[in-house]
Amino acid sequence: MRLGARRAKTNQPPAEEMAADSAKRSPAKAPKAGLPLAPEAFAAHLGVELHRPELLRQALTHKSAEQEVGLPSNERLEFLGDAVLGLTIAAHLYRRHPELAEGELTKLKAVAVSEPVLARVAEDLGLGKYLILSRGEEQSGGRRRVSILADALEAVFAAVYLDRGMAIARRLILTLLDERLGAIERSEHELDYKTLLQEKIQELHRTPPTYRLVDQSGPDHDRTFVAEVRVAG
């Protein structure tokens, strides 16, 4: 795919893109550890023609590498990308499923924008090869870490939004998530809330949670259960 190849007809990026995090930037040096592929190569892989590749370079810069490469990390872009992603998926689900109530739409969106789903999309893209990491993060397996991959992908969405506008960012997001979105909408996706919680706890505490049934109510055909989750005792 090639998104946004014609510059003349694109919308001007929003004023927020003039923020200070991209104003004073010098070309990044390759980190002493990690040796990532060039961000421009990742843009070509995405099929997006960028006018400001320094934004993408920042999106791929993990906070551990700030001092080594002299660039701000991707944390602020991640914040913005989370909002761009959330709005894109919410609008998509709203338009595609007029029959669903707010609660059902919320459940679908929660899975679609979850860390495990984003990390798998990032893995499919080979995003880890382009990350700019510190020596320590590189040696500890940062290129494969779920949280780093998911955060970087959100930052990439923000970089595309600031560079090319919402229309191209939205098209990119829906293209990348298309297969998984379809599975989620058909209730064929393997992730549920319990799985999402368990994966997050496992990542943070290196130990699985335990569960205890606290209460149950309602008729047999429509029971409501209340469970307690315990972490590390």
State the Cα–Cα distance between residues 112 and 131, nearest whole angstrom. Answer: 23
∠ CA(2), CA(170), CA(200), 5° rounding?
A: 110
CATH code of 20-191, in short, is 1.10.1520.10
Per-residue pLDDT of the chain (233 residues; tens, 9 = 90+): 556 544 444 444 444 443 334 433 433 333 344 445 677 888 888 999 989 999 999 999 999 998 777 789 999 999 999 999 999 999 999 999 999 999 889 989 999 999 999 999 999 999 999 999 998 898 899 999 999 999 999 999 999 999 999 999 999 999 999 999 988 888 755 555 666 677 777 777 777 788 888 888 877 656 787 888 888 75
pTM higher than the cut 0.85: no
Locate the domains of the chain by residue range: 20-191
- CA distances (Å), 80 to each of 22, 76, 151, in order? 14, 7, 11
Find out whether 213 and 225 touch, Cβ atoms under 8 Å.
yes
Supply the residues annotated as catalytic. Answer: 82, 154
Distance from C-alpha of 177 to C-alpha of 189, rounded to nearest angstrom:
13
Token pair of 210 as six digits: 């335990």
d(CA 52, CA 72): 15
Between CA 172 and CA 157 the distance in angstroms is 8
